[in-house]
């Protein structure tokens, strides 16, 4: 059974701070790793994908992957109240995605 684990939170950070979200996964054969943002009452929105070890930066977002440790993280720099949402980690083997239950992020003004 493939598992993806995330701390449910909430993770509370002040505006302007760095938010660090973490995820571990069980299947060593996983190839692709994704972060989705889900606002309350809305569907998940893809914000980052990462396929190889190391860091990938896109604007205020940085995804980090360590396959040896089976660990993925998402850093959000200069956090804004509009970043307040649930962040879902998703891991893909060949085709389907396995999702974590998400970490709720609260950014206070």
Partner 1 sequence: GAGVSQSPSNKVTEKGKDVELRCDPISGHTALYWYRQSLGQGLEFLIYFQGNSAPDKSGLPSDRFSAERTGGSVSTLTIQRTQQEDSAVYLCASSRTSGGYNEQFFGPGTRLTVL
- Our CB check for partner 1 shows the closer of 76 and 88 to be 88
- Our CB check for partner 1 shows the closer of 59 and 93 to be 93
Asked if 51 interacts with partner 1 (CB under 8 A), we say yes
Which x/- pattern over 65-94 shows residues binding partner 1 (rule: CB under 8 A)?
-----------------------x-x-xxx
CA distances from 66 to 14, 51, 58, 79, 82 (A): 28, 10, 18, 24, 28
Cα three-residue angle 79-85-91, rounded to 5 degrees:
100
Q: Which stretch binds partner 1 (CB under 8 A): 11-19, 59-67, 70-78, 100-108?
A: 100-108
For residues 27 and 89, the answer to whether their CB atoms sit within 8 Å is: no
Tell me the two tokens of residue 81.
């109240």
Asked if 49 interacts with partner 1 (CB under 8 A), we say yes
């Amino acid at each position: 059974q493939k598992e993806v684990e995330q701390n449910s939170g909430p993770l509370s950070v002040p505006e302007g701070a760095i938010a660090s979200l973490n995820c571990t996964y069980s299947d060593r054969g996983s190839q692709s790793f994704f972060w989705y943002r889900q606002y309350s009452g809305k569907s998940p929105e893809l914000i980052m994908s990462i396929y190889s070890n190391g860091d990938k930066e896109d604007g205020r977002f940085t995804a980090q992957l360590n396959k040896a440790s089976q660990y993925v993280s998402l850093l959000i720099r200069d956090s804004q109240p509009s970043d307040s949402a649930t962040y879902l980690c998703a891991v893909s083997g060949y085709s389907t995605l396995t999702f974590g239950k998400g970490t709720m992020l609260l950014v206070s003004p």
